A and B are shown apart, each in its own frame.
Chain A
């Protein structure tokens, strides 16, 4: 039986985030929190492995108390156990401090049941760094497999895994030993629709809450703001383009006239665009 730990993060749905027009701060109020979409690919892949080979899936997140909702949702998809690592001391963590805390919590999980694989998303949509996965792998001294587009085979007995990894110019087929840490690429699968019994089970399960001590962390200088080498020194809105588009209009506003007028204006003002066209046009 394989024990898979999936790291998920609850993030604000960035599609619905707005910037306060006056204070230039993020308006999180009323923005729904979702499971980081990339993490769903990781979770689904873990569940598929469990379906195929038998196994146990533990989901873990480090976050504020509300992040429990994300874990409950993961349970409804079919995860077996859920752990919320939450403590005020974690506030303000950057990726180095986050990976320290998660790695430490995973070591605690391991005390009950050895871990064969850790799954992460490719990146989060709020932090967007893609650094936490590699960070956890290095801290736990695990093989790191990033940007995995598919898992070709898992051999539970031989403790071996073969995967396809996206690289810039192609796909690497890699073979490695378990335990390892995998970050899944988007589009690698599609999250299942939870069954009603799983929904009910998830609603009834108590999510475990671990504070710093339960997560095995003694040294507070390694976590939260203190444990973060990076500091955000400034947050600001991109300088808005002051010039709006020149709207092309003609008397008739017929397509032919509009595009004619566009070309004339554009070629007069930007002769280099015309040169570029001549270079690349084929017909």
Chain B
């Protein structure tokens, strides 16, 4: 009986942790721009294009795809900051050995075009 009681209490604890993590995710997305683990499917539609220069040479679409494992030109259905987050994380980790200059141009929900640049990590 005590073993069942322990298992049930453990299950309840794990379930509460799972729910708490999701609540944190929903709150966190209001404070930070990328929308991961926030239950925000199709919140904004962004068309983007990634261009880059590595060692003085322009990266092709295939180079971009191979580098970040995402399309160089595409559509992001959650937040453009998800794409920026991916590029930023790559450039600050795996890409340190071969740093690239990256520009992501994007349009969110049909608004005017914007750009983000790396390594400046700035928006125009």
Whether chains A and B associate is no
